[in-house]
Chain A
């Protein structure tokens, strides 16, 4: 079971990397999503994929009966998902704000617009943080 998952991790990571290297920021965010998914899957696979029940100890027993799944990678992945969620939402908000202020989400165009002389009106507006 680990082998197909390992291949999947590789495919996801490669696709993510491809998107991350694009100039369009929205694609960058999508790439980040793929990267984060592949890394989470990697941690999950690293904890070994075994058949087992949820690692919850039933009432009245000191240990769970039978085989249980490894709970630690799941806890790690859950934490990583939560953090990734926060980071990606922040990235999306940042892209949105950039689009509002600079009128583009293409990184090359962004640099151009920043260097281009600005009309007086926006120059004033720029001093007031939005």
Chain B
């Protein structure tokens, strides 16, 4: 679509939406949000870019193909399930490593987080595959 307003705005919005999508994914740990909804917002950001500059430009910006994202995401999600093997627990059992940062702050790393990152990547990859399939002529 040839619109200078959309082009200018989408460049700004791309960054903001991607940041927001990451925020949603991380927040989903204890509060509403999560990998799926974050992934949708992330995919929407790229889709907006594709509408403004064409899908080839969006593909060039992504550098890697959406299907690669699906693969990496699936790997991350399955790997998160395998982390329980280290403790001899059932597949997908949550594993937590809480790192104290001093002054009461702590960093919660966990296998559900890794799983959520996987979901995020799978959703971005899948939705973009679909968007590009619809755009392709």
Task: Indicate if A touches B (C-beta under 8 A).
Answer: yes
Find out whether the CB atom of A56 lies under 8 angstroms from the CB atom of B31: yes
> How many chain A residues touch the partner (CB < 8 A)?
9
Instruction: State in angstroms the CA–CA spacing of A54 and B31 once bound together.
Output: 11
Q: Which residues of B contact A82 (CB under 8 A)?
A: 36
Q: Quick one: given A56-B31, A82-B36, are A93 and B133 in contact (CB under 8 Å)?
A: yes
Instruction: Give 1 or 0 for each of B45-66: 1 = CB within 8 Å of chain A CB.
Output: 0000000000000000000000
- Looking at chain B, what size class is its interface with the partner chain? under 10
Which of the residues A54, A56, A86, A96 comes within 8 Å of B134, measured between beta carbons? A96
* A17 interface hit (Cβ, 8 Å): no
Instruction: State in angstroms the CA–CA spacing of A37 and B36 once bound together.
Output: 19
Q: How far is the CB of A71 from chain B (nearest CB, A)?
A: 12
Instruction: State in angstroms the CA–CA spacing of A96 and B36 once bound together.
Output: 26
For the residues of A in contact with B, the DSSP-based class is: helix
Q: How far is the CB of B38 from chain A (nearest CB, A)?
A: 13
Q: Quick one: given A56-B31, A86-B126, are A92 and B134 in contact (CB under 8 Å)?
A: yes
Q: List 13 A-B contacts (CB under 8 A).
A: A54-B32, A56-B31, A56-B32, A82-B36, A86-B126, A89-B130, A89-B134, A90-B130, A92-B134, A93-B130, A93-B133, A93-B134, A96-B134
- Chain B residues in the interface with A (C-beta under 8 A): 31-32, 36, 126, 130, 133-134
